[in-house]
Structure 1
């Protein structure tokens, strides 16, 4: 996996330390001190590594997220869309692609014919096994210098970061984007 971001810049992992002596040292103001810029930089690198790793499983990151949600059991199509925070038309496009590859199956709910149930197929479950392995390799490479406790702390902190303005899908990510 490439360790450099386009342009040859390796992401900084620490903000520069101020060289001013005394307790009234000004806060660093460079880009390395801005959390949003650090998240964007690390996010870009992580996205590229995930995309590269998932090529072995033959799915995109968006497809991987759908399959991972369905791996725990069938869901109503609306429930799946709400969980993923995607517009119904985007979800239909994702499901059509996965269904064409026999990774998921949609069927009418016998109790309510207006409702569709989405379930993962055996081929989809096999793909999730490959997806999990690929993502684990990326996480091990990316987070190799962190202890398990530090990884848990990072996961907990990132779960609290707002990723929407209205708060409807905080913590759930936004697979409507490319990743």
Structure 2
């Protein structure tokens, strides 16, 4: 791909290259989210799982792994930790005993509001100078970037 297509004017400094900018801002976002959630003893993936379960009520363990775009073996570890903290519970599906249904507990529901607020605070801190339209554009562009759950940075 032509470097000029990836930069504004084709003569951008090395540190202003898209890859470096994304890496820097991504690392900052990751660090801030981790700090915000560590007070609740949650990792970002655990927080994301809790938020998703809060939205859905309950869902199959495989569907949750797919929604979070994590390997099923990684999902087991995430759920083991959340279950040990009594934030979620897994139970067998009555219609298919091989399938586990994951549901947020009352304790998980109480922590959910704090988790959402912590993420909102980080986003406001990072993106507060952007207009709602700019945030929507940024979100749309980031969703189009090619990444894979098998990349080292995507495993927890």
TM-score range for the pair, normalised by the shorter chain length: 0.7 to 0.9
1:163 corresponds, among 147, 152, 155, to 147
- List gaps (5 residues or longer) in structure 1: 1-15, 18-25
What's the counterpart of residue 132 of structure 1?
A: 116
1:83-102 mapped onto 2 (5 Å cutoff): 83-102=67-86
2:63 corresponds, among 75, 79, 96, to 79
What's the counterpart of residue 25 of structure 2?
A: 42
What's the counterpart of residue 41 of structure 2?
A: 58
In 1: Cα distance, 2:153 partner to 2:50 partner = 12
- List gaps (5 residues or longer) in structure 2: 1-6
> Over aligned residue pairs, what C-alpha RMSD do you find?
2.1
Give the alignment's TM-score, normalised by structure 2: 0.86
Give the alignment's TM-score, normalised by structure 1: 0.75
In 1: Cα distance, 2:154 partner to 2:47 partner = 13
State which structure, 1 or 2, has the greater radius of gyration over its C-alpha atoms.
1
1:108 corresponds, among 78, 84, 92, to 92
Runs of 4+ deviating beyond 6 Å = none
1:143-176 per-residue CA deviation (whole Å, 9 max, x = no partner) reads: 1211111111111111111112xxxx6xxxx995
Query: What's the offset of the Cα at 1:51?
Result: 0.9
In 2: Cα distance, 1:57 partner to 1:159 partner = 28
1:123 paired to 2:107: yes
In 2: Cα distance, 1:57 partner to 1:71 partner = 16
What's the counterpart of residue 53 of structure 2?
A: 70
What's the counterpart of residue 149 of structure 1?
A: 133
Larger relative helix fraction:
2
How many residues in Structure 1 have an aligned counterpart in Structure 2?
147
